[in-house]
């Protein structure tokens, strides 16, 4: 399919996990619409995402979300120059809905389509609101599926310097919330409980703080919380919920902040960014901001709506990729590929 002579207004679809998202962005930063429908109500009773239910819900909602996005943008499909869609990594059945829908749109309108990596989209989220973000910068990427530190040397050039050896930070939030009987997703609930805590936070060990590298491990912390909760009576666990949430959040955030600052200093990088769902955590944002400020390091983080899954970040990134001549076609396939980052450690472009 030939490139539209002007690929400036991009409509993107994002269905990699449990949020059905459509975004319309002009020239990589002007957000005309960023609509999402969350499935939290469906999955909360299971304490985690059920892939079949996620895919079915995407299928039911994607057409309506597209309509709402076009209405919000005061546009019709004839105003769109090109499409973008998250095609990896994610839940295969969820990705399939978005990719098929975007391909159908591309086929029907004869407009180009481009597959985008979800993680690279998260890394781009800061640029949406700050297109002049300086390079190189160090990004702490913390989501439900990934946790890593990457140096963004320039657009399209990434250098991984550390990552979790087991659970992602968001996964730890979700699992600890489950041990505490708090619902799903765990991050926002734990953040709220911790903010309400008026007792001394329960102490939990900070894993790999002095490991000498920039890797993380959160599985031990999650298990420590589980054992602690199991050691208490039901009444006592209920009474201590907020102090446990605060202690867990502090242990996890302290490690993220400490290692990010150490990495910025080691690699002499003067700008830090934060991305991914856990970047919505206000305690993490303020702790990293404080520590960066003390050392005269610039610190940027996206608005909360751009931290968690959204399609504006996909549309924004796609604009730059179209400018560089990238384009997919109707053979675009999804890639579940959850081990993607692990297998590409330390390569120049892990995407």
Binding stretches for ligand KG4 (CB under 6 A): 17, 143-145, 170, 173-174, 185-188, 191, 276-278, 280-281, 308-309
Binds 125, which of ligand KG4, Zn ion, none (CB < 5 to 8 A, cut-off by type)?
Answer: none
Spatial CA neighbour of 305 closest among 34, 64, 79: 34
Stretch that binds Zn ion, among 73-81, 95-103, 139-147, 155-163 (CB under 5 A): 139-147
Give the residue with the Cβ less far from Zn ion, 86 or 197.
86
Rounded to the nearest 5 percent, the helix, strand and coil shares of the chain are 45, 20, 35
What is the C-alpha to C-alpha distance for residues 308 and 232, in angstroms, rounded to an integer? Answer: 34
Does 117 help bind Zn ion (rule: CB under 5 A)?
A: no
Contacts of 195 (CB under 8 A, 6+ apart): 282, 283
DSSP 291: H
Give the residue with the Cβ less far from ligand KG4, 278 or 334.
278
In the bound complex, what is the minimum distance in angstroms from residue 295's beta carbon to Zn ion? 29
Contacts of 27 (CB under 8 A, 6+ apart): 8, 319
In the bound complex, what is the minimum distance in angstroms from residue 255's beta carbon to Zn ion? 21
Does 309 help bind Zn ion (rule: CB under 5 A)?
A: yes
Give the residue with the Cβ less far from ligand KG4, 54 or 73.
54
Give the residue with the Cβ less far from ligand KG4, 12 or 278.
278
Stretch that binds Zn ion, among 44-52, 107-115, 129-137, 303-311 (CB under 5 A): 303-311
Q: Which tokens in the block code for residue 263?
A: 């990495």
Does 171 help bind Zn ion (rule: CB under 5 A)?
A: no
Does 120 help bind Zn ion (rule: CB under 5 A)?
A: no
Binds 186, which of Zn ion, ligand KG4, none (CB < 5 to 8 A, cut-off by type)?
Answer: ligand KG4
In the bound complex, what is the minimum distance in angstroms from residue 145's beta carbon to ligand KG4? 4
**Is 10:318 a contact under the CB 8 Å cutoff?**
yes
Binds 280, which of ligand KG4, Zn ion, none (CB < 5 to 8 A, cut-off by type)?
Answer: ligand KG4
Does 147 help bind Zn ion (rule: CB under 5 A)?
A: no
Give the residue with the Cβ less far from Zn ion, 146 or 242.
146
CA dist list (Å): 330 to 85, 113, 319, 320: 12, 8, 19, 20
In the bound complex, what is the minimum distance in angstroms from residue 136's beta carbon to Zn ion? 23
Spatial CA neighbour of 18 closest among 90, 120, 69, 105: 90
Tally of CB atoms within 10 A around 153:
14
In the bound complex, what is the minimum distance in angstroms from residue 311's beta carbon to Zn ion? 11
Which DSSP string do the residues of 72-105 spell out, in sequence order? HTT--GGG--EEEEEEESS-HHHHHHHHHHHHHH
Assign 3-class secondary structure to 118-152.
HHHHHHHHHHHHCCCCCCCEEEEEECCCCEEEEEE
Q: Which tokens in the block code for residue 318?
A: 């796609």
Answer for which of 15, 20, 39, 143 binds Zn ion (CB under 5 A) is 143
In the bound complex, what is the minimum distance in angstroms from residue 339's beta carbon to Zn ion? 16
In the bound complex, what is the minimum distance in angstroms from residue 170's beta carbon to ligand KG4? 3
Give the residue with the Cβ less far from Zn ion, 112 or 144.
144
Binds 120, which of ligand KG4, Zn ion, none (CB < 5 to 8 A, cut-off by type)?
Answer: none
Does 167 help bind Zn ion (rule: CB under 5 A)?
A: no
Binds 18, which of ligand KG4, Zn ion, none (CB < 5 to 8 A, cut-off by type)?
Answer: none
- 273 forms beta bridges with 139, 300
What is the C-alpha to C-alpha distance for residues 351 and 343, in angstroms, rounded to an integer? Answer: 11
In the bound complex, what is the minimum distance in angstroms from residue 118's beta carbon to Zn ion? 6
Binding interface with Zn ion (CB under 5 A): 143, 309
């Amino acid at each position: 399919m030939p490139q539209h002579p002007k690929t400036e207004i991009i409509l993107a679809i994002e269905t990699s996990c449990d949020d059905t998202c459509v975004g319309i962005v002009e020239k990589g930063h002007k957000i005309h619409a960023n609509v999402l429908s969350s499935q939290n109500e469906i999955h909360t009773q299971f304490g985690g995402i059920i892939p079949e239910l996620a895919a079915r819900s995407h299928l039911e909602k994607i057409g309506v979300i597209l309509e709402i996005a076009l209405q919000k943008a005061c546009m019709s499909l004839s105003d769109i120059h090109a499409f973008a869609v998250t095609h990896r990594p994610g839940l295969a059945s969820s990705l399939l809905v978005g990719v098929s829908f975007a391909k159908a749109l591309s086929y029907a309108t004869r407009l180009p389509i481009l597959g985008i990596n979800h993680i690279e989209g998260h890394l781009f989220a800061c640029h949406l609101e700050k297109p002049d973000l300086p390079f190189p910068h160090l990004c702490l990427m913390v989501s439900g599926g990934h946790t890593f530190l990457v140096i963004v040397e320039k657009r399209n050039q990434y250098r991984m310097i550390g990552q979790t050896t087991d659970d992602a930070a968001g996964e730890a939030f979700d699992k600890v919330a489950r041990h505490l009987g708090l619902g799903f997703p765990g991050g926002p609930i734990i953040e709220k409980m911790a903010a309400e805590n008026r007792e001394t936070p329960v102490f939990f060990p900070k894993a790999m703080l002095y490991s000498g590298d920039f890797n993380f491990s959160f599985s031990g912390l999650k298990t420590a919380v589980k054992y602690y909760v199991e050691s208490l009576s039901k009444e006592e666990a209920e009474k201590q919920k907020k102090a446990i949430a605060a202690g867990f959040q502090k242990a996890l955030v302290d490690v993220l902040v400490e290692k990010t600052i150490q990495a910025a200093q080691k690699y002499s990088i003067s700008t830090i960014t934060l991305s991914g769902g856990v970047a919505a955590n206000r305690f993490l944002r303020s702790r990293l901001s404080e520590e960066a400020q003390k050392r005269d390091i610039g610190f940027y983080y996206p608005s909360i709506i751009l931290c968690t899954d959204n399609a504006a970040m996909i549309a924004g990134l796609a604009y730059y990729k179209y400018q560089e001549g990238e384009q997919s076609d109707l053979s675009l396939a999804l890639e579940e590929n959850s081990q993607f980052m692990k297998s590409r450690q330390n390569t120049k472009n892990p995407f």
